[in-house]
Structure 1
Amino acid sequence: MTRTRTTKLLGGLVALGLVTAACGGDDDATPAVTEAPAPDDDDTDDTDIDDTDIDDTAMAVDLSDVCPSPFVIQTDWFPESEHGAMYELIGEPYSVDTGERTVSGPMVSQGQEVGIDVEVRTGGPAIGFSDPRVQMYTDDSITLAYSTNDSQAIGFEDAPVISVMAPLDKNPQIIMWDPEVWPDVETIADVGEAGMTVNVFGGGGFSDVFVAQGIWSADQVDPSYDGSPARFIAEGNIAQQGFASAEPYNYEFVFEEFGRAPRFELLHDAGYVGYSQTLGVRTDRLEELRPCLEQVIPVIQQASVDYVESPDRANAIIIDAVEQFDDFWVYDEGIAIYAVETMKELGLKGNGHDDTVGTMDEARIQKVIDDIREAGISLPDDLEASDMFTNEFLDPSIGY
């Protein structure tokens, strides 16, 4: 489990009566949000497609003869803005299945139906915290599943997946810390030098790599993180895994006991440059699905661009689904807006190295494989980056 998310723990935190010691601030804290993003004036509860969301000149695509219906996408967590492109694909009317934790409807491209239905499935606890890539091997109805390069490589021998698109150009995962407690710590490498405990989910390949590279020591890494903010707030002096597009907002505006932005560095900027949340297909189904992928991947590329340019409609679906699921995961308009703006600001959403949205760089994936091998983690001897991805289905004309 390599994700970090926010739970309904505010009541418990209040009961703790937590006070964090302040050791001075730093004008160079990165990045600090000084004001909660204000919701747009638009009525985002209305998920009907607005005329402005429809490109009347867009050529209609008919996927009914080449793609399965429903076209099932298995995500790695509850609905959230990092998954925005998947929800941009869902047209009207859409339905939320609170038992199965799915959102489905006609697939659309710029407001036009493309002849099939799409179903976006929740991951994380909804699938017993199984890796979406593994879930795809246990459920043949799944067409595409989220796959992160490190777990994809580590599990390639048993459940090989080939990534066909990267909706995120940079991994949103971060290591964060309290700048008031650690005013001189600026980077993940500084975290190691400071001797900070680093609380992470177990099974994350990046921590093993950082230890092997001498950035951290093994005794710093505590793989007991469970997604709760309680320990970070209570102890104050530890570092913790998170998402740049979520945790900084929550710790400043939601968790009142903390009430300030943590400082952080992206794993990507610390040299762990693999792709997170790629869309992957089982290698043994690649040829079967090829006619579909040739036409549907450009549709998803366009959805990625459309979501970043106008996220309100898809965000309304995301927020509505989370509210209907009524689970520990909470999501509102404030964090949805923050997430989109942060993904743009930090380049998490953006074109690949060739100005095409969704493209993947072989050198980055190979570096992940090499780093994992050097960390002593077992991989197939002949595994290379070219086994794990292809850009062949991407339309090079589609980008931000």
Structure 2
Amino acid sequence: MTAGAATATLLALTLAACGGGDDDAAAAAPSGEVGSTDLAAAGCPDTVVVQTDWNPESEHGGLYESLGDDYVVDAGSKTVSGTLIDGEGDSTGVKLEIRAGGPAIGFQTVTAQMYSDDAITLGYIATDEAIQLSATQPTTAVLAPLEISPTMIMWDPETYPDVTGIEDLGQTDATVRYFEGSAYMAYLTGSGILSPDQVDGSYDGTPAGFVADAGKSAQQGFASAEPYIYENEVDAWGKGVEYELVYDAGFQPYQSSISVRSDEVEGLSGCLTELVPLMQQADVDYLEDPARVNEIILELVEEYDTGWVYSQGVADFSVQQQAELGLVGNGSDDTHGNFDTARVQTLIDQTTPIFTEQGTPPLEGITPDDLVTNEYIDDAIGVQ
């Protein structure tokens, strides 16, 4: 071995020891004694692989709460893996691998990823996506980390002082920018809340258009991010915005629901019985004390280097909004993470004509039971 090769090897080992990403380290067994939850004995795979729907962010905090401190980052594949821990910080006997979504997977749907890679155990899938793909790539949601979707429409209160919600925007001449193909916009225009003539599907996730229009246009965003970003981090704007959640305008999917392929539910049943309550509790624990996990999230954003910027301020604001707006919370009962099947049926009724017109009709005769299950939920776990 040459001196240069020896130095490179030593450097690689050092980086792996510091969580820098190494194939051998990533393949290592979970560390620590198994605590009260033994996921290996419950039939979980050696590594529970979760495909997320975006870059690491605080909306995924509950998932990262279950990642042990022995985690290893693979910046190339935009993944992080480590021991899957319980609420006491003890090993569950298996590993957790979390994969970034969005740019990391070429902006493909999580559903498509799950059907192209059998290694994926769970994925973040919104209910409207599950409905749209139910005939060809069916998935079943087992946990709703977000009770309320943070998707919103925002506007400048100085330009539109009389606007108090999305419906009011429909009475103005404001252009409303959004991501093309979003089902919620077809609902807003189809129900007459917004005019088809005023919506613009060219939003690219940057503030450029909103700033250039000097407040004359409105724009989609996340209530857990953009209000802080535009006031504190967009120098060309630097002031507050007003917004309304699309949820409050009547379109209410379960955003980023933890889901499995429908043909794998039975085989994973034993695993899900133990894993889902652990994930419920992790959501609650993160909301109560997010500091450790937010450090991990910020580290991953820097390591992955996808061009996406995420600051400590945004991370902290997100947690605050998750609590204050009930984005992470309980349903009509005292349980976190379960599904209201009447709400799911309403979404089926709202979106079936939309998706049929778009050429992706849902499964014929689809019902909420085809899309969600509360079988694995622990009714005693809730956000206080």
Q: TM-score under structure 1 normalisation? A: 0.84
Checking the alignment, whether the CA contact within 8 Å between 2:35 and 2:91 is kept in structure 1 is no
Residue aligned with 2:171, SS: helix
One of 25, 40, 43 as aligned partner of 1:64: 40
Structure-to-structure mapping, 1:1-400, within 5 angstroms: 60-65=36-41, 66-110=43-87, 111-235=89-213, 236-375=215-354, 377=357, 378-400=361-383
Checking the alignment, whether the CA contact within 8 Å between 1:72 and 1:120 is kept in structure 2 is yes
Displacement of 1:374: 4.5
Checking the alignment, whether the CA contact within 8 Å between 1:253 and 1:259 is kept in structure 2 is yes
Residue aligned with 1:157, SS: coil
Gaps of 5+ in 1: 1-45, 48-57
Residue aligned with 1:194, SS: coil
Checking the alignment, whether the CA contact within 8 Å between 2:104 and 2:306 is kept in structure 1 is no
Aligned partners of 1:373 and 1:345: how far apart in 2?
A: 32
Displacement of 1:70: 1.3
Checking the alignment, whether the CA contact within 8 Å between 1:353 and 1:359 is kept in structure 2 is no
Bigger CA drift: 276-285 or 376-385? 376-385
Q: What is the letter of the counterpart of residue 117 of structure 2?
A: D
Q: What is the letter of the counterpart of residue 220 of structure 1?
A: Q
Q: What is the letter of the counterpart of residue 344 of structure 1?
A: A
Checking the alignment, whether the CA contact within 8 Å between 2:74 and 2:80 is kept in structure 1 is yes
Displacement of 1:283: 0.5
Superimposed CA distance per residue, residues 92-151 of structure 1 (whole angstroms, 9 cap, x where no aligned partner)? 211111000011110001211110000111000100101112210001000000111111
Residue aligned with 1:289, SS: helix
Superimposed CA distance per residue, residues 19-73 of structure 1 (whole angstroms, 9 cap, x where no aligned partner)? xxxxxxxxxxxxxxxxxxxxxxxxxxx99xxxxxxxxxx9611111310121001
Checking the alignment, whether the CA contact within 8 Å between 1:79 and 1:122 is kept in structure 2 is yes
Displacement of 1:183: 1.1
Residue aligned with 1:328, SS: coil
Checking the alignment, whether the CA contact within 8 Å between 1:200 and 1:241 is kept in structure 2 is yes
Q: What is the letter of the counterpart of residue 140 of structure 1?
A: D
Aligned partners of 2:312 and 2:250: how far apart in 1?
A: 32
Identity, % of aligned positions: 46
Displacement of 1:386: 1.7
Residue aligned with 1:305, SS: helix
Displacement of 1:293: 0.5
The verdict on how the C-alpha distance between 1:166 and 1:249 changes in structure 2, with shifts beyond 3 A counting, is: same
Aligned partners of 2:305 and 2:353: how far apart in 1?
A: 43
Aligned partners of 1:152 and 1:60: how far apart in 2?
A: 33
Residue aligned with 2:153, SS: strand
Q: What is the letter of the counterpart of residue 161 of structure 1?
A: T
Give aligned pairs, total: 345
Superimposed CA distance per residue, residues 301-335 of structure 1 (whole angstroms, 9 cap, x where no aligned partner)? 11001100110111111011111112211222111
Checking the alignment, whether the CA contact within 8 Å between 1:162 and 1:389 is kept in structure 2 is yes
Q: What is the letter of the counterpart of residue 175 of structure 2?
A: T
Superimposed CA distance per residue, residues 172-231 of structure 1 (whole angstroms, 9 cap, x where no aligned partner)? 100111111111111011111113211111111011111111111212121111111100
Aligned partners of 1:137 and 1:380: how far apart in 2?
A: 17
Gaps of 5+ in 2: 1-17, 20-33
Displacement of 1:397: 1.0
Q: TM-score under structure 2 normalisation? A: 0.87
Aligned partners of 1:370 and 1:195: how far apart in 2?
A: 30
Displacement of 1:259: 0.6
Aligned partners of 2:102 and 2:305: how far apart in 1?
A: 15
Residue aligned with 2:251, SS: coil
Aligned partners of 1:116 and 1:381: how far apart in 2?
A: 38
Aligned partners of 1:64 and 1:121: how far apart in 2?
A: 21
